[in-house]
Amino acid sequence: MELKQLYNKALELAPLNEEEGVFLYEEAPLEEMVFIGDRLRQIHSPGNRVGWMIDRNVNITNICFSQCTFCNFCRKKGSPDAYVTSVHDYIKKIDELFALGGDQLLLQGGMNPDLGLEFYTGLFRQLKELYPALRLHALGPPEVVFLAKKENLSYSEVLKVLIAAGLDSLPGAGAEILSDRVRKKVSPAKATSEEWLEVMREAHMVNLPTSATMMFGHIETLRERMLHLVKIRKLQSEKPNGSYGFITFIPWPFQDEGTVLAVRDGIRSSYNASDYIRLIAISRIMLNNIKNIQASLLTVGKGVAMLSLHAGANDLGSIMIEENVVSAAGAHNRFGAAEIQDIIREAEFIPVRRNQKYEPMD
């Protein structure tokens, strides 16, 4: 294998296999990876516009049977600080969201064994009746798998019922690393990699907009990271023509503060700045059929996010009013609407506010 040959292959938008990805990641000088990542970003998203959005993360409940070892957010049923968010609290939070100019709720778990499909459809309907302009970016493949098993329904049936109740798009939550070796250690009670992919396959069949993610920097190997990217690319290539598919890919590093992985097993986050920038570039290279790559400002902070915009990323995500899951494990970066736009300008790009489908809003 030669670097130049792989660069040319990437620039022709040809699919690289996992061995080629590993070779590039390990052997290519960082500045060359950045150059290729940026050239590919220009093919997928020409110009120098960078997307951002306003949304609010609300956790439906922190009770979760999954007890993932990287999670410092979940609680067992009966814990003194366990909760299920009340409608009164949703109303307060949504009013604040609209006051700040946002219209989307990112609604996420835990997976509370007491909450079935009727609970979620009732909640979605109630929120949409109260706020018809509200957009719901909610749940994720593990919750769909959980609900399908609980209700004895197919993934497609669960998705259709959720969509009818008001679900607008499905986050790529719970992907972590799509390797069952890794998942058995970090999230053994959660959807398997094939289940995660199957839910997304069904979501693409019913044209539900989705995103893909990766949480890296814990116990995975480099080859497993590349296989994760290959699996995402392969699934995207199978989506029906005209279906949204994966609108974006968002990698973020494991946040280790207070997690079982760190405290019990001594696994600390192995992420550093150059690793993240390299990962953004290799994501651009491997994901030849996904238009948008988002740098995770919330977890990597301003400096690394700015550099990521020169390595292939074309989006900085949301100002994320209230985030509880990764912040419980150490991600303490917070930015308002003015700051995120300043960061994009400081990196010499033009900020463009967008919606969940990556359509410009202004």
User: Which residues in this chain contact ligand SF4 in the complex, by CB under 6 A?
Assistant: 64, 66-68, 71, 73-74, 109-111, 142, 187, 190
Residue 325 C-beta: closest distance to ligand SF4, Å: 6
Amino acid at 128: K
Query: Which residue number, 56 or 233, has a Cβ lying nearer to ligand SF4?
Result: 56
User: Which structure tokens are listed for 86?
Assistant: 């009340």
Q: How far is the CB of 174 from ligand SF4 (least distance, A)?
A: 6
In the complex, least distance from residue 347 CB atom to ligand SF4, rounded to whole angstroms = 30
Q: For 248-268, give one letter per residue: b (16+ CB within 10 A) or e.
A: bbbbbbbbbbebebbeeeebe
CB of 267 to ligand SF4, least distance (A): 15
Least Å distance between CB 259 and ligand SF4? 10
Strand partners, 56: 105, 321
1 or 189: CB nearest ligand SF4: 189
What pairs with residue 360 in β-bridges?
354
**Nearer of residues 71 and 115 to ligand SF4, judged by Cβ:** 71
Closest approach, Cβ 75 to ligand SF4, in A, equals: 9
Nearer to ligand SF4, 173 or 337 (CB): 173
Measured from the CB atom, the residue of 69 and 308 that comes closer to ligand SF4 is 69
Distance CA(47)–CA(45), nearest Å, equals 7
Phi, psi of 56 (to 5 degrees): -130, 130
Residues sharing a CB contact under 8 Å with residue 153, sequence separation 6 or more, in sequence order = 117, 147, 161
Closest to ligand SF4 by CB, 190 or 231: 190
Strand (E) positions, the chain?
49-53, 55-59, 104-108, 135-138, 210-216, 246-253, 292-293, 315-318, 350-353
